[in-house]
Chain A
Amino acid sequence: GENVEQHPSTLSVQEGDSAVIKCTYSDSASNYFPWYKQELGKRPQLIIDIRSNVGEKKDQRIAVTLNKTAKHFSLHITETQPEDSAVYFCAANAGGTSYGKLTFGQGTILTVHP
C-alpha cells in the first residue's frame, strides 16, 4: 500500500519567514495530494491540494509543488504569521482508487514566533 513520509516533524520560524514541509510517497499510481492544517482537537482543514497532472499550485501565501518522477511534494508557506501555527499533514490517495482514501504523513508541528 501507499507509504507517506513527512519531514520535518517540528518546524520553528520567525514571523515573516518562509516555511517548507516536504513529503515523499511510494505509490506511483497516486494522483491526489492534499495538505491539511489541524488545530488541537479539531478536524483537519484542507489548505491546498494538487493533482498529478500539474507540477505547482499557488493560493496566496501557500504553494505546493509536485515532482512525480521523484515522488515527492512540498508545501511552501511565505510571510508566515502566528496564526499559521498548527500541525500540518500531507496526504496521498490510494492510487487508482477513490481519491478520498488517503494515507497521511506523520505531521509537522509548525510554530511561528511573533
Chain B
Amino acid sequence: GAVVSQHPSRVICKSGTSVKIECRSLDFQATTMFWYRQFPKQSLMLMATSNEGSKATYEQGVEKDKFLINHASLTLSTLTVTSAHPEDSSFYICSAPKSAGELFFGEGSRLTVL
C-alpha cells in the first residue's frame, strides 16, 4: 500500500538551533500534505497545509516564520522549526492524501529541544 515516510523519527537539538523534518510520499504524488503537532497526552492539532508549488496555508495561531514549510516536489514536504525552544518540543506528524478516501500518515518525528 501507499506509504508516507518521515525523517528523522527522533531529533534532539539545542535551544536556538533549527531543525528540518522531511515528509515523503513513497509511491504516489501528493500536491497537498498536512502537518500536525501533538503534545504529550494531547490530540493532534493541524498546523498547516503544504501546497506543492505555492505557499503553505497556516492555521490560526501558528507562526509561519517559525515553522517554515516547503513543498518543493510532488513527493516531498519539509517542515523547519527555526530557532527552536523547549516549548517547541513535540511530536510532529505529516499526512498526505493519495486519492479521494485514502489518507496516509507519516511515522512522526519527536523533537526534543534542550
Contacts and interface: CB of A to CB of B under 8 A. Distances in A.
Contacts of B110: 41
A100 B97 contact: yes
A91 B60 CA distance: 18
Contact of B105 (A1, A43, A103, A107): A43
Interface residues of A, number: 19
Interface residues of B, number: 22
A77 to B, nearest CB: 19
Nearest to A107: B43
A99 B42 CA distance: 22
Contact of A99 (B43, B46, B93, B101): B101
Contacts of B60: 1
Interface of A is mostly: loop
Contacts of A102: 34, 44, 46, 95, 103
A44 B91 CA distance: 12
A104 B39 CA distance: 13
Given A41-B110, A101-B49, A34 B43 contact: no
